[in-house]
Structure 1
């Protein structure tokens, strides 16, 4: 079966049903789409928070200025390898927080290339019409030839930055230089200086921004040890932005400090692995923190080998959450350079891994909008990425690459199979309530069930305690699966035994939980509950399931296709019905090349506006998802004609598969003979190239064609075994 999406339609799915429309969509963040996102944003709280952030920023800038003068420091410096370092914030304890870019010394690893036109899935995704925000040490060179008019300066900064240009190119370069093509190569990008990042992001998220990339963080050799893995004020601020703008997701690089040994007192103890090195917003609960990986990808998009990059900063965070969240490719990425409009440069580090993931997530949002007519909430998008990531090394997550390596192909396939072999639901749990769902597993498959939620900002921030294990989680949701008295628990990790494999148990710290049941069979009950009282009285969450029988739809070829009636305008056909199945009926005149399609949930269709004397062909197939489609049924043929009584009738000429025939002589003069084993009931029709039947009779023996004018004809032979047609020329 051809697994490409049908050329006759684009899928538009909903949580219950989907429609296939014979139109071309324009995808992107339109004003209407932004309005929907804004309606879900807590605009009052976010507006008040923006005012607070602006005042704090003003005060901090004054304090930073005084500190620079008193210490005789420069505001920003550029190190020998091009890394930018600037004093951008102050901790609650007064510690100067120097921000630095993460280009130490993506597309393929994240499998984004499988979503392109002519990719493995051939989805035609490229980011067209979508917008991503980029914050960095400075703005990108917007005039670079790879950007066209798609990259805009978002804050008017005149600080053109090499690193910001590299990151932006990795996201959206058009591919004039093929090796430098960005992951979402037709998308728009808005580039910003990092100086006012929280303020600008909050404003953009309130106005509909879906994704932003932050390939920078706090410089690890200039903070006290208690900062590592700590949930601090900056972590809290970003969580608050994301909670109040539920469609917005921040993607950040994990950092490149694995070999630095900058943390003298890691939670796990000193080891060569370099654990406990995450800082600042990379420890936020709601964002997506990206590690760097060395990978080998097969021709079919499969992950053949993966290990964490030697530079990539490892978790855990102090409360034991699974960070980094996942990994992307950060190795020798060729991208745009800020030297001039046609310059390029290779770089590596988590700075390059992060935009590879961000670009892939943008394509998945584009695809969700294409399929279902809306965007995913950030919790759904993040949950989808973690749910479908390629597990590496030991089973379950770890503190090196989180849930594994980003796999946009698997994520797109899960979206395609929604409501067939997967489920995605955006739900809400009220205080003291429980959500339950009974599902049937696909026999022999692994059942995956996960929940993801954007948690309210943590109420307790660390102000100086080394390796404080206080959970930052505010609303602690739980997923459990039960069957015949057996309860299945989600994965969890232990921060004080950071190199140990994950185990199943009660996860009290992560706003994402996943359960896996290998070789699942039968029915299972899924329960979502919570501990304590829910802040604000409720918690939105996203439930993602795969390896389930989510529909009774069958991809078997529909049976029983037949004529049932005719009237003055056309005929009616029907077939055997199956549950929850969309059907595509196709018909065409015998002499036409293109089929006309009708889509229906019913098992009966009227075919109208038929021409008298024409022979028509009809066939049917079942559609469960864009990729779960049956083969077409056997074709039936009929002649649409009028008798002397002027009552319009039809005549079924053939059902079923065709058989082989040949005719001689060809070209013909007076007679032709059918060379085939035919029964006494075999009949023929001579059809003109315009589709009109001009002669009929028994097909056994010579057929007189002496009365025909010179030209090309079609001979249709019908017998008990089916029907066959062949062309001949009358000389």
Structure 2
């Protein structure tokens, strides 16, 4: 049993010291070193063996495919009347021809990703710089389009250039030369492949450190018998196996556009016209993210105002009742790059266009996590984060139309940033027969939410022809519960027999993601993770994500500094203590340019080696987690007088104040400070002695930069509301 305690918290805070001194060395993007680090966590022998088996299977299957196609007069490749390309990719267990098609009909790019970009709402400057994503599609992208040119590499040299692949690629990485065509991760790079050998190529790429791949295609719904819909088949099994053996790799796939197709005449729920139970092939894998299409309205602050599933987007459930699709991308007609020329653009839609928006957003979240913590998330963590923070448009849990809701990159990034303060993210391992326990305190007056996500072992069961077989594909069944005062809170689950009904809370036996929510939570709760039966491979890695909690009692209010003691050559400064805090202190003689910086965990500082009649400045801020800090305190200033040293009080600027208005240091070098507080609306003007105005700006922090002034005598004028003050100073 693992229990969170104060020792763990203290060690976590002290790690901030290490991170702060090493953060400057963090390189943006996925370096070859990082890819090797990710690859080291793969089950490389299993992946190599599996890839070898896939290559052998592919050779046999292609030969068989050609013979059977010729015998039955099936076309290998076909361009339909609407211009869409389809291609025969396999033969089902019952002998059915399996055609791949792209999932474009005319929908949109995921919302809120722009809040992470340069000049975005959050000011994070995340554009995917140095990051790489794989795109598998009907063909390869036009390599030399002006929107991405050198940032696309072709993985299949003899593959055809494809309009759909070009559009998807642009949706992820276009620079934005045409503003409305800007990609989600507009500085990232893409390796572009066609779909012919997708599993073989992904297995190799995942073993080498690939984090994400986009698949905006799938089996053509109109050319398979009804039992295929919702069935866990070999193709889903194969993809689950790849992801299980490459724990940092995540496949993102489009749900499809078969809602109105009426192709499934015997769905698990309702009538054909209702649109349920039309997911196929690898969209039904357990470990991936399957993306639905949605139309939504977002306000200027990145808040979802309303949303509805797109009229084309394929619905779940899958036969075992799992929650599929997983997420929805923001719908609407998408302008992106086109393959007609290297300067052409076109609009398109469908779940094909919602999916690259989600893929690009996930890539930005990986980039952000690396910038914050110096490492990438496992795929289960990334998937769990996206599902944990999705916007639930109905506020009653998940559904079979849009899964857990509309992807919210902004909320996901905020949760990562608040880790250790108001959220918790960890990657754990549950051993066979053991449990994991974690105690948290609710933040109060908000929803306490805890979720677990895991990359499950591929199921040994595959459906080979039985209609609506409900055998669960889940292998290692983990459970999350939250308890308080004898009450147990259970996760969400859905009932495929009542596909239009709201989600309920109970024992979820089919999903590799579980989420528990407690609205208006107050007090201390215990989160417990257990498992049913025997764990295959005797253990199961999982990711735990918690929000709506107070991970520390640390206060982010700026500390107030006082002088406790003064001796012959040193002073002792102290400030109000904050539990679980780390303090960044900065100090210098006022005529020095740079602050000296230290990090300490006690609320006092002995400043030694001071010189009589020299003026000094001191300030500090409180770190409550790696990324959450208070503002700096007001600068504490004193002229060292030995045992008679006193802090100079910073008074509010007042026309009737008896204290004289002055600036220091005087003479100044790079900066002058005021001996008074000013409001946010205060302004200053620096004049030459002949009355010429040289500088004017806000003076809201009682400090003014003068490094750009030549040596000489100046007059500083301060105006704050109806108060005007002036003082002379000399600049070295």
In the superposition, the TM-score normalised over structure 2's length comes to 0.86
CA 1:385–1:178 in 2, change beyond 3 Å: closer, same or farther? Answer: same
Cα distance, 1:148 vs structure 2: 2.8
Cα distance, 1:606 vs structure 2: 6.2
Confirm whether residue 390 of structure 1 aligns to residue 391 of structure 2. Answer: yes
Matches of 2:363 and 2:37, distance apart in 1 = 18
Q: Which residue of 2 aligns with 1:704?
A: none
Secondary structure of 2:156's aligned partner = coil
Paired residues for 1:283-432 under 5 Å: 283-432=284-433
Paired residues for 1:524-673 under 5 Å: 524-562=525-563, 564=565, 573-587=573-587, 590=590, 597-605=597-605, 614-625=614-625, 628-639=628-639, 652=645, 654-660=647-653
Secondary structure of 2:98's aligned partner = strand
Q: Which residue of 1 aligns with 2:436?
A: 435
Cα distance, 1:81 vs structure 2: 2.8
Q: Deviations over 1:412-442 (max 9, x none)?
A: 0000111111111100011111111111111
Cα distance, 1:32 vs structure 2: 2.0
Q: Which residue of 2 aligns with 1:728?
A: 728
Q: Which residue of 2 aligns with 1:277?
A: 278
- The correspondence for 2:658, drawn from 637, 655, 677, is 677
Secondary structure of 1:619's aligned partner = strand
Matches of 1:49 and 1:353, distance apart in 2 = 31
Q: Which residue of 2 aligns with 1:464?
A: 465
Matches of 1:54 and 1:608, distance apart in 2 = 71
Matches of 2:79 and 2:14, distance apart in 1 = 55
What runs of 5+ residues in structure 1 fail to find an aligned partner? 1-12, 642-648, 663-674, 694-709, 717-723
Cα distance, 1:204 vs structure 2: 0.4
Bigger drift between 576-585 and 47-56 goes to 576-585
Indicate if the aligned counterparts of 1:170 and 1:180 stay in contact, CA closer than 8 A: yes
Indicate if the aligned counterparts of 1:416 and 1:625 stay in contact, CA closer than 8 A: no
CA 1:651–1:29 in 2, change beyond 3 Å: closer, same or farther? Answer: farther
Indicate if the aligned counterparts of 2:444 and 2:522 stay in contact, CA closer than 8 A: yes
Matches of 1:82 and 1:248, distance apart in 2 = 33
CA 1:613–1:711 in 2, change beyond 3 Å: closer, same or farther? Answer: farther
CA 1:400–1:246 in 2, change beyond 3 Å: closer, same or farther? Answer: same
Q: Deviations over 1:301-343 (max 9, x none)?
A: 0000000000000000000000000100242111110111111
Q: Which residue of 2 aligns with 1:20?
A: 20
Cα distance, 1:395 vs structure 2: 0.8
Query: Aligned pairs, how many?
Result: 673
Bigger drift between 571-580 and 443-452 goes to 571-580
Cα distance, 1:155 vs structure 2: 2.6
Secondary structure of 1:171's aligned partner = helix
Q: Which residue of 1 aligns with 2:450?
A: 449
Indicate if the aligned counterparts of 2:13 and 2:626 stay in contact, CA closer than 8 A: no
Paired residues for 1:39-438 under 5 Å: 39-105=40-106, 109-438=110-439
CA 1:57–1:601 in 2, change beyond 3 Å: closer, same or farther? Answer: same
Matches of 2:531 and 2:568, distance apart in 1 = 62
Matches of 2:729 and 2:31, distance apart in 1 = 57
Q: Deviations over 1:335-358 (max 9, x none)?
A: 110111111111111001000000
Indicate if the aligned counterparts of 1:638 and 1:650 stay in contact, CA closer than 8 A: no
CA 1:34–1:685 in 2, change beyond 3 Å: closer, same or farther? Answer: closer
Secondary structure of 2:463's aligned partner = coil
Q: Which residue of 2 aligns with 1:494?
A: 495
Bigger drift between 498-507 and 64-73 goes to 64-73
Matches of 1:604 and 1:371, distance apart in 2 = 28
Indicate if the aligned counterparts of 1:613 and 1:692 stay in contact, CA closer than 8 A: no
Matches of 2:198 and 2:669, distance apart in 1 = 68
Query: RMSD value over aligned CA atoms?
Result: 2.9
In the superposition, the TM-score normalised over structure 1's length comes to 0.87
Indicate if the aligned counterparts of 2:437 and 2:527 stay in contact, CA closer than 8 A: yes
Matches of 1:684 and 1:329, distance apart in 2 = 55
CA 1:422–1:683 in 2, change beyond 3 Å: closer, same or farther? Answer: closer
CA 1:506–1:604 in 2, change beyond 3 Å: closer, same or farther? Answer: same
Cα distance, 1:614 vs structure 2: 4.9
Matches of 1:386 and 1:120, distance apart in 2 = 22
- The correspondence for 1:689, drawn from 668, 672, 677, is 668
Secondary structure of 1:305's aligned partner = strand
Matches of 1:222 and 1:440, distance apart in 2 = 54
Q: Deviations over 1:498-521 (max 9, x none)?
A: 111000000000000000000101
Matches of 1:424 and 1:600, distance apart in 2 = 25
Matches of 2:671 and 2:154, distance apart in 1 = 65
CA 1:656–1:57 in 2, change beyond 3 Å: closer, same or farther? Answer: farther
Cα distance, 1:684 vs structure 2: 10
Cα distance, 1:689 vs structure 2: 2.9
Bigger drift between 58-67 and 610-619 goes to 610-619
What runs of 5+ residues in structure 2 fail to find an aligned partner? 1-10, 673-710, 718-723
Q: Deviations over 1:677-716 (max 9, x none)?
A: 259xx999893234999xxxxxxxxxxxxxxxx9637899
Matches of 1:685 and 1:463, distance apart in 2 = 83
Cα distance, 1:653 vs structure 2: 5.7
Matches of 1:456 and 1:181, distance apart in 2 = 38
Secondary structure of 1:462's aligned partner = coil
Cα distance, 1:727 vs structure 2: 2.4
Bigger drift between 496-505 and 575-584 goes to 575-584
Q: Deviations over 1:259-287 (max 9, x none)?
A: 10100100003153300000000000000
Q: Which residue of 2 aligns with 1:672?
A: none
Indicate if the aligned counterparts of 2:108 and 2:353 stay in contact, CA closer than 8 A: no
Indicate if the aligned counterparts of 2:593 and 2:669 stay in contact, CA closer than 8 A: no
CA 1:202–1:711 in 2, change beyond 3 Å: closer, same or farther? Answer: closer
Matches of 2:608 and 2:116, distance apart in 1 = 38
Matches of 1:15 and 1:135, distance apart in 2 = 42
Secondary structure of 1:149's aligned partner = helix
CA 1:607–1:172 in 2, change beyond 3 Å: closer, same or farther? Answer: farther
Indicate if the aligned counterparts of 1:157 and 1:192 stay in contact, CA closer than 8 A: no
Cα distance, 1:638 vs structure 2: 2.1
Bigger drift between 165-174 and 609-618 goes to 609-618
Cα distance, 1:585 vs structure 2: 2.5
Matches of 2:70 and 2:389, distance apart in 1 = 50
Indicate if the aligned counterparts of 1:583 and 1:600 stay in contact, CA closer than 8 A: yes
Indicate if the aligned counterparts of 2:109 and 2:332 stay in contact, CA closer than 8 A: no
CA 1:610–1:32 in 2, change beyond 3 Å: closer, same or farther? Answer: farther
